[in-house]
């Protein structure tokens, strides 16, 4: 089975990020998010509030919701077993929106892609 991993990071301060580097032939995708107190991503943080919205698109124009694509930020921590946002189908773009995240100003997003068409 073919697999690939992508990672990107940034600020959670009411941010909307589009990741457009998933031009591959993998069928399924999963998103994992880790929050940090610092921009060097050395101290893990647990948000106390906020919402994360994850959407995907084939063309970078029309985005759609995915399974478990809306996550309460407080459920994401170093020991969290939250249901990871995931999808099946051809996708080249991932949009992630952080709204009102408290106590966790930085993030690392890891996207795992599996399978092939």
Rg (CA), the chain: 14
Q: Can you tell me the distance from the alpha carbon of 80 to that of 99, in angstroms, rounded to the nearest whole number?
A: 19
Look up the pTM and report it: 0.91
pLDDT in tens, 76-98: 876 667 899 999 988 899 999 99
Q: How many domains does the chain have?
A: 1
pLDDT in tens, 59-81: 999 999 999 999 999 998 766 67
Which CATH number fits the domain that encloses residue 91? 2.60.120
Identify the CA nearest to 107 among candidates 83, 84, 77, 80.
77
Expressed as residue numbers, the domain containing 16 is 3-114
């Amino acid at each position: 089975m073919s697999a690939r991993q992508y990672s990107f990071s940034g600020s959670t301060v009411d941010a909307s990020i589009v990741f457009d580097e998933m031009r591959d032939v993998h069928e399924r995708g999963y998103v994992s998010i880790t929050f940090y107190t610092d921009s060097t991503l050395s101290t893990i943080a647990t948000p106390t509030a906020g919402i994360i919205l994850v959407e995907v698109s084939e063309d970078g124009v029309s985005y759609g919701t995915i399974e478990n694509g809306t996550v309460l930020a407080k459920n994401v921590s170093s020991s969290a077993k939250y249901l990871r946002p995931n999808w099946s189908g051809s996708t080249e773009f991932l949009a992630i929106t952080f709204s009102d995240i408290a106590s966790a100003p930085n993030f690392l997003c890891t996207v795992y892609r599996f399978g092939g068409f």
